Structures are given as structure tokens and as C-alpha cells.
Structure 1
Amino acid sequence: MVIEALAQNMNLYGITQSAGRLYGLLFFANKPLTLDEMKEELGMSKTSMSVSVRSLLDLNMVEKVWVKGERKDLYTIKEDWYQCFFDYFTIKWRAAIMMNSSTMEKSIAKLKQLIDDPNTSEEIRESAMGDLKKLEERLNYYDWQDRLIDSFETQEILNFVPTDKKKDK
């Protein structure tokens, strides 16, 4: 039941349910597991298993470990859930912010050219100025998000929201 709940919750964050089930399996495993062991336990294809493992590795939620005498790759979860949360959101948010900011900056440059063009009608110029203001405000928001992500990466956020409830009071 817990594994399925984890899988469903992780799906809300854009992680496939199969990767979520894999994470749940690794969470309850008392030892690192090979792809074959995970495949057998979950009944997934080797391809699906590999994709799920790669996804969790990319998000820093699992790690490959070395065990003396074992030739196959072994995987386990990263135990620090707070760091996993920080890593997940910084990876996802930073990518979205970069993509959106870049697109908006290009649009701002085009709007400024349009506004400065003497052949632009007053109606189009006013509309462009309104759009320019909206985009500049949005860039301000992305700057704030970027600083929030920085606080996750440096863990300064924990000064404001400690991991221990007792420290909140």
C-alpha cells in the first residue's frame, strides 16, 4: 500500500508511476538491488526498469553503489529526503526558469524594436508597451524564484522552515 501511495504521489511531481513504484521498492529494501532483482520484484520489463532508474538517478533520488565482489550495478535510495526534495525542485524549476526567461528576454528585445520603430502605429506601440510591462514583471517573478532555488541549494531555507517541528516553535 505504501509503495503504491508513493508511486501516486510521485506521479503528481511528473515522475512516472513505474519509477515511483521502483523508488518505493528501494525504500523498503534492506540492501541495494540490481536491475534484475528490481525487474523480478516489480514485474517490469528491463527497458522500463532502466528508464525508471535513469529518471531517479537524474533527479538525485537514487544512487549507484559499489559492493565488493558484485559485478552488476546496484542501486539504493538517497536517505536524505530533504535533500531529495531540494534536488528535485532545483533541477525542475531551474530548467523551467531558464527556458521561460530566455524566451521572454528574446520577446522583450523584439517588443523594444517594435516600440522604437518609427513605422509602428500608436495602437500597436501601446499594445507592445503593455506586453513589455507584463514580461518584465514576469522576469522579476522568475528572479525571485531563482533566489528561492538558491536558498534550497544553500539550505538557507531551513533557517525559516526547519526540518524539526520543535525548532519551529
Structure 2
Amino acid sequence: MNEQEKLLNARDRFIDSMAKNMSLYGITHSVGRLYGLLYFNEKPMTLDEMKDELGMSKTSMSTAVRQLQELNMVEKVWKKGERKDLYQAADDWYDSFTALFTTSWRTGISLNMSTINRSLKELHNLRDNPETPDEVRASVKLDIEKYQYALDYYDWLNRFVDSLESKEIFNYIPKKE
């Protein structure tokens, strides 16, 4: 294996690892690989170049690029004389991955809080119903406490996500410059 192949092998290993990590946050492996490709590419790329490099359809590539743009991980760039759209990986990983994490967390928080609130409404009705047996009422009381604990956690998680989005978190855990 020559030096160029070793370099490409090391990049590919990192790109694959990054793509697997991004899949934890709802990003498909192929979209993660696209981000890695753009990250290591020295110049902006067209959709056709990305399609050829990754073997995806142009439609899939366009959808993937749009998803990465929404997460502030890829940006469109302009180059004099170039008629096709060009894209490159965003320079600031802190912003990019904050957008990725917070989008996923907000979705989960919202879903879970909605479910908890719906369940709490049902539990309060059970608790307040005079026909509910005492043993069920005791379980309802315990469940309400558990749901309240979960709501307190999701409130904390929401505030944590707020601190990421506002960049206040960097006052406590500074970026390395």
C-alpha cells in the first residue's frame, strides 16, 4: 500500500466512524458519508461530483445535501464562472453538531413530554374518580410521581439544549482555539 492509499484509508476509516456516530442522531449512514466526503475535499463539489464519488442517485444526493444544509453542516458556495451549485462542509463543527444534536433532542423531548402529559391527564382522572379502587389509586400516585420526575428531567434537557443553541454552554466548557 503506497502513501496515498494509506492516507485515503485513514480518511475512509474516520468518515465511516463519523457516519456511524451521526446515525445515532437520525442521520443515515450515506448522508454521514457525504458529510465526510465534503469535509475532506479541498474544494467545493457539485451534486454530480458527489454522486459519482459516492454512487448515489442525483435525487438522493440532492436530498442528502438539503438535509445537511438544514443542519448547518453543509453550505452552498459561489464560484465565478461556475453554473452548477457548489457545496462544501461548514467550517465550524461546534455549530454543525450543535444543530444536529439539538434537532434530535428537541424532537425526542417534545414527543416524550406530549406522551407524559397525555398519560398524566388520564392518571389524574383515575386519581380523582371516586370509583377507582384504593390499590389502583396508590399505583396511580406512584406513577404520577415518576412522570413528574421525567418532566423535570425533560425540562432540564430543554434548558441544556437552550444553552447549546445560545452558545452559553461555551462559557462553562470553552471551545479549544
How far is the alpha carbon of 1:117 from its aligned partner?
Answer: 0.4
What is residue 36 of structure 2 aligned with on the other side? Answer: 24
2: CA distance, partners of 1:86 / 1:161: 14
- Match of residue 36, structure 1, among 24, 44, 48: 48
How far is the alpha carbon of 1:51 from its aligned partner?
Answer: 3.1
Q: The residue matched to 1:102 in structure 2 has which SS?
A: helix
In structure 1, runs of 5+ residues without a counterpart are none
Q: The residue matched to 1:123 in structure 2 has which SS?
A: helix
What is residue 17 of structure 2 aligned with on the other side? Answer: 8
- The alignment status of 1:66 with 2:75, answered yes or no, reads no
Deviation per residue, 1:130-154 (Å, 9 max, x gap): 1111001000000000110111011
CA contact (8 A) 1:8 1:17 kept: no
For 1:150-169, what aligned pairs fall within 5 Å after superposition? 150-164=162-176
How far is the alpha carbon of 1:108 from its aligned partner?
Answer: 0.6
1: CA distance, partners of 2:66 / 2:119: 35
Q: How many residues in Structure 1 have an aligned counterpart in Structure 2?
A: 165
Residue 9 and residue 31 in structure 1: after superposition, are their counterparts in 2 closer, same or farther (change >3 A)? closer
For 1:1-169, what aligned pairs fall within 5 Å after superposition? 1-14=10-23, 15-164=27-176
In structure 2, runs of 5+ residues without a counterpart are 1-9
CA contact (8 A) 2:71 2:99 kept: yes
Scaled by the length of structure 2, the TM-score of the pair is: 0.85
How far is the alpha carbon of 1:161 from its aligned partner?
Answer: 0.9
| Ranges of 4+ aligned residues in structure 1 off by more than 4 Å | none
Scaled by the length of structure 1, the TM-score of the pair is: 0.89
Identity %: 51
